[in-house]
Amino acid sequence: MDRRDWERITAPSFSFNPRTGAVAIVRPRIPDGARYRHYGAFLQGNWHVFREDRLRLSGAIRYGGAMYNSRSPKDQLSAHAPTGRIGAVSWLRPWLGLHSNVTRGFRAPNVTDLGGLGLQGNGQYEASYAELVGRNAVVGDRADDRARSTNQPVEILRPETTNSVDAGIRLRHGAWHAEFAAFWMELTNTIVSQTLLLPPGAVGLQLGEQQVARQLASGAIFVPGSASPVLVRANFSGARMRGIEHSLRARLGTHWDAGWNVSAYRATDSHTGEAPSIEPGVPPPQFNPTLRWTRSDRLWIEVHAAAAMRQDRLSSLALADRRIGNPRSIETIAAFFGNGAVARGFVRNGVLLATNETLPQVQRRVLGDVRSGPQFTAIPGYGVLGIRSGIQLSERASLILDASNLFDKNYRGVGWGVDAPGRGVAARFRYQW
């Protein structure tokens, strides 16, 4: 086998016009025939400093990288770096333990980062570096139509790196045990999607299968397939993340035990202090308690819950994501008003039947004085409740039943795209031999 063919991507693409029957070859979302190779070597070890296992040290080192090559459009990248981790676990007392890690990470741009072009799953249209060579393209400071120039040219992507530290404490005593942990992480050369800015006169420019239909004074451009401006991936700024996690498990009696875990994270852009444009975003504080009743080794019943706070720290990228902010514009409202709404019987003779409004009235009610904007600016908090039970049918067979979301709560998390399932029941049978 020719090793040059490993990780080759085959992605033929064409467009079809149902009215005329015309078929045309178009630029695929990922370059057809592109190659991506990755490699790495890894070494790790543990050292028990004392025989009593009161202190254990661990370490790991890895050298890895990736190579990308595309013929059409012509593009290539080679990236490599060493990474590692040093950690320690110490039990100062039988009931008190400490642990910590220091880690350096590295991520080479993947094929989507390097060659992605076209409409993405989040509803945004992205251009690639290879399509913009020689066009004096600049990276915007946001991921929406309010972006202004950073004077940073669109360039070939560089690898991301991370430096992180985490530490924690473990407590155990008789019927209960608990853990508290915290971490700090800094991302540099963060690969994010930002608004693409082009010099004046970009209307009519072909990007993938679509042409630029509109351009703002800032240089931001729009194509018919998306309500948001065209984006481009770039090493933009950096981000700092920190968080805490806590878990507890305790026996409450002969047949009862309870527990929970709690987590909370916060991320900020290294330059602006705002929420960073990291897809899909940072989850809000979450709380997951359980209460279990056990009858011998054959039967247990557990009540479980999940709760999350409201998340209103959303980046401009998240607000422009149709899975989160769901942006609308004058153009998209007009397109639906005159087509889909008519076909569904919502609009007749230029009037929205439910409210007796014309198109300009609907546009003003939805958007106010702006040309475009998100429908949602936060993700609501939620709380759901469920119950599950496990039955040991025999030495080798067991059955688990789970009734979830008992009150049929409608909710979703950051970047989910769809709401979580409603009330439901699941069964799982296991047989071991």
Chain segment 15-65, per-residue pLDDT in tens: 777 778 888 777 677 788 888 888 889 999 999 887 777 889 999 999 988
pLDDT, position 372: 84
Q: Please give the Cα distance from 334 to 353 (Å, whole number).
A: 16
Range of lowest pLDDT (88-92, 243-247, 302-306): 88-92
Chain segment 173-186, per-residue pLDDT in tens: 889 999 999 999 99
For tokens 């989910």, what's the residue? Answer: 416
Q: Does residue 256 belong to any structural domain of this protein? A: yes
The number of domains in the chain is 1
Q: Does residue 433 belong to any structural domain of this protein? A: no
Top pLDDT among 321 and 13 is at 321
Range of lowest pLDDT (6-10, 95-99, 130-134, 157-161): 6-10
pLDDT at 298 over 70: yes
Q: Does residue 241 belong to any structural domain of this protein? A: yes
Q: Please give the Cα distance from 293 to 400 (Å, whole number).
A: 14
Start-to-end CA distance of the chain, whole Å, equals 40
Chain segment 17-28, per-residue pLDDT in tens: 777 888 877 767
Range of lowest pLDDT (87-101, 171-185, 318-332, 417-431): 318-332
- Neighbouring CB atoms inside 10 A of 36's CB total 21
Q: Does residue 366 belong to any structural domain of this protein? A: no
Q: Does residue 121 belong to any structural domain of this protein? A: yes
Q: In this structure, are residues 202 and 212 in contact, taking their beta carbons and an 8 Å threshold?
A: yes
Q: Please give the Cα distance from 31 to 69 (Å, whole number).
A: 10
Range of lowest pLDDT (50-54, 86-90, 163-167): 50-54
Q: Please give the Cα distance from 33 to 373 (Å, whole number).
A: 38
pLDDT, position 169: 97
For tokens 């688990």, what's the residue? Answer: 400
pLDDT at 297 over 60: yes
Q: Does residue 233 belong to any structural domain of this protein? A: yes
Across the chain, mean pLDDT equals: 89
Top pLDDT among 18 and 295 is at 295
**Do strands 160-173 and 149-153 pair parallel, antiparallel, or not at all (unpaired)?**
unpaired
Q: Please give the Cα distance from 321 to 376 (Å, whole number).
A: 10
Chain segment 110-122, per-residue pLDDT in tens: 888 887 778 887 7
pLDDT at 104 over 90: yes
Q: Does residue 149 belong to any structural domain of this protein? A: yes
Question: Residue 6 — very low, low, confident or very high, per pLDDT cuts 50/70/90?
Answer: low
Range of lowest pLDDT (38-52, 360-374, 395-409): 38-52
The range of the structural domain enclosing residue 268 comes to 3-287
pLDDT, position 3: 43
Chain segment 121-150, per-residue pLDDT in tens: 777 888 888 888 889 999 998 888 888 999
Both tokens of 217, joined, read 């004074």
pLDDT, position 2: 37
Q: Please give the Cα distance from 326 to 366 (Å, whole number).
A: 13
pLDDT, position 4: 43
Q: In this structure, are residues 143 and 150 in contact, taking their beta carbons and an 8 Å threshold?
A: no
Percent of the chain with pLDDT over 90: 54
Q: Does residue 259 belong to any structural domain of this protein? A: yes
pLDDT at 264 over 80: yes
Q: In this structure, are residues 113 and 192 in contact, taking their beta carbons and an 8 Å threshold?
A: no
